[in-house]
Amino acid sequence: MANVSRARTIAVVVAAVAILASCGGADVPRPSPAATSRPTPTSPSPSPTPTETASPTPEPSIDLPRDAPTTLADDVSVDALPRHAVLPPGAAETASQALDGDGEGPDTLALAWARGDDPFAAERGLVVWQRFPQRPAWRAVYAFTDPPERGVLGIRLEPGDVTGDGVDDLLSFEDIGGSGGCGTWRVVVTADPGAVQVWRRRGCDTQVRLSRGRVEVREAVFEPGDAHCCPSAYRISRLAWDGETLTEVRSTVSPAPDAG
């Protein structure tokens, strides 16, 4: 059974998406999400210093190219969604992830895409589509776009139940390469209806994963004189859903296995 407190919190935020999209199939507006920066501790700190944002009252965000579709009238299953009708024209699907909860939530599909002939200078993005009982049956409820100059090489997707309501949420990673595995991680939680981004982090020498309903962040800690290959320690932080956003509940620093 869905978590009532969580559903009420997110439903207020995303209700506007459902109302606007249902009015004659009009495109959903694309506001920018409001975010409050949380500085990363500087001593000790990873290198380079990552940036992290979280919003206690997240807003829906649909950042798509102007020629991209935002609604689909046909009431078809997730498996039958025609990619040419739900991706920007000329874009190819690079990854997909169905977000389900054994009937607890609406049909939701996350699609990563790329557009352009040069894989090192392609426009890339992510769009989350959700199925509604009213027409238009399918609507884009969350999206971001990385322009070619951002240098994103690919987008990876990982499902997991962050909010504890039995319905999958999403962790995405925009890979820009480099020896430190640099990129941007985002956590998007699903609602009925809608989806919102509740956490974002940019950085290098860091790994983020979903583990037992929490977000686990493992980052290298470099001391003066450390080679880039060999940090002195690792900081592991765990973030949990508090009903409104993700908050850090534990952080530990441990020496690297081969340090010293």
| % the chain with pLDDT above 90 | 67
Residue 22 pLDDT exceeds 50:
no
Q: Does 232 reside within a domain?
A: no
Instruction: Indicate whether 237 belongs to any domain.
Output: no
Average pLDDT over residues 195-219: 95
In a domain, 14, yes or no: yes
Flag whether 59 is in a domain. Answer: yes
Question: Mean pLDDT over residues 146-152, rounded?
Answer: 97
Instruction: Round to whole Å and give the CA distance between 31 and 157.
Output: 23
Cis preceding-peptide flag for 136 (omega within 30 of 0): yes
Q: Taking all residues of the chain, what is their mean pLDDT, rounded to a whole number? A: 82
At residue 50, the pLDDT reads 61
- Quick check: helix, strand or coil at residue 149? helix
- Calculate mean pLDDT across residues 122-140: 97
- Out of 5-14, 87-96, 199-208, which region has the weakest mean confidence (pLDDT)? 5-14
Domain that holds residue 100: 4-21+42-204
d(CA 153, CA 184): 12
Average pLDDT of the segment spanning 46-58:
51
pLDDT band at 41 (very low <50, low <70, confident <90, very high): very low
- pLDDT band with cut points at 50, 70 and 90 for residue 29: very low
Question: What is the CB neighbour count within 10 angstroms for residue 230?
Answer: 11
pLDDT at 33 over 90: no
C-beta of residue 60 within 8 angstroms of C-beta of residue 142: yes
| The predicted structure's pLDDT at residue 256 | 87
CA–CA dist 55, 139 (Å, integer): 24
| 236 is a domain residue | no
To the question of pTM greater than 0.85 for the whole model, the response is no
Judge whether 251 and 239 are in contact, CB under 8 Å: no
Residue 3 has pLDDT above 70, yes or no: no
Q: What is the DSSP letter of 91?
A: -
Amino acid identity, position 134: Q
Q: How many domains, the chain?
A: 1
Q: Which range among 7-21, 150-164, 187-201 shows the weakest confidence by mean pLDDT?
A: 7-21
* Dist. CA 188–CA 49, nearest whole Å: 23
Question: Region 36-52: what's the mean pLDDT?
Answer: 45
SS3 label, residue 213: coil
**Could you tell me if residue 194 is inside a domain?**
yes
CB 187 within 8 A of CB 171: yes
Mean pLDDT, residues 232-245 taken together? 94
The model's pLDDT over 76-107, given as tens digits with 9 standing for 90+, comes to 999 999 999 999 999 999 999 999 767 778 99
Residue 173 pLDDT class (50, 70, 90 cuts): very high
CATH classification of the domain holding 119: 2.40.128.460
SS (H, E, C) 44-72: CCCCCCCEEEECCCCCCCECCCCCCCCEE
Of the candidates 32, 31, 16, which has an alpha carbon nearest to the alpha carbon of residue 139? 16
Q: Does position 176 have pLDDT exceeding 50, yes or no?
A: yes
- pLDDT band at 42; cut points 50, 70, 90: very low
Lowest mean pLDDT among 38-47, 135-144, 156-165, 224-233: 38-47
The phi, psi pair for 177, rounded to 5°, reads: 75, -155
